[in-house]
Structure 1
């Protein structure tokens, strides 16, 4: 992988990981065009995104951690949120372990990526009709967790699936976005532990360049998307996913 290719992949990850357009789908398409094995570099890029979201949501994370300790003797709203995050993470952990090889194989099928992008477009368009005003519940966290598990497939947007599921259940827009990003942390941390061997497949210097670009862009895009969700504009990305999906199917 060359440095220019690394920069392009970093830009793709830094923007598309957070926007509801499927970073895995974009990385699979770019890797196909560049002739690069996507699994190793994809994990390194996702790790850079993990560091970025921890920085952006550091106050939320510290609040949840403190609440978790205090809740040992006295339950509180933040500790309940921690419980919901754990609950929502279970589906992706189970599916990731059971279907790891099948998921990796899906990255090599551009037409399959295209089909999943079209599904993402439909999911995003449905948010146009949502009227969110509720808090996250146990049932809601389970459904959001199942949506995140579905987004393991390349072409299904993780943020798009989780935020859309939350909005369609009537969950407050900002809470939906923040919960989605908080879910990203245990999901990627777990994937990193499972796939750490793939780091050996990545060229060190281009990998660091790609991760650095992704990390820097992520710091800005996360904040921007939270504001966009609050303004009820998630469905704006549906036409883009639809066009890209159709293009991928026809390649």
Structure 2
């Protein structure tokens, strides 16, 4: 399976990754290639990537799909490797969630292509990380690392949840969101327009006992609105573990 440029940059430095290694937000199957030299674990926010890793042979007990890392799997890691996410707030979330599981003196790695903003994101690699610097660059990508030299604050998911009251298209409800979820912390204009149009559509007169699928549910605003408006049985589906957690 073809690796993306950030993974190819990691492959140039693969001799560094030994012991217990956690990949946070991996984008492809590169973690599986290290199984012969390291105890590899993955924490995926994307169900599609998690399934790709399963297909290439990374065992179930070494993969986790969820909104936060399952601390019961490994006590501490020698390396944590984070792929630069699109949202800078999500990078802060991933750092907060993984640093408590990094050994003292362990290395935190950040990799991404130049367009992802990884160059400016290195400023977010602050205490308790020290000796932060660039390790390598190639294929329009950058690789940084730093060493854990202090105590990381325990991670609490609830500290990262944003809650707010929303009134839209005749319905009022409380929404929750987590960094990395589409429209984090607000109702985007496109969704608001969709709900206003649904309220006026003849479709709404015949769905009270229907079973509906909200495909790509995000923070669940459409599911919530439809359920309150019609009482319909709704299944919410998304590739993102963070979106599913917010929808709960």
TM range (shorter): under 0.3
Structure with the bigger percentage of strand: 2
User: Greater Rg, structure 1 or structure 2?
Assistant: 2
TM-score (norm 2): 0.27
Structure with the bigger percentage of helix: 1
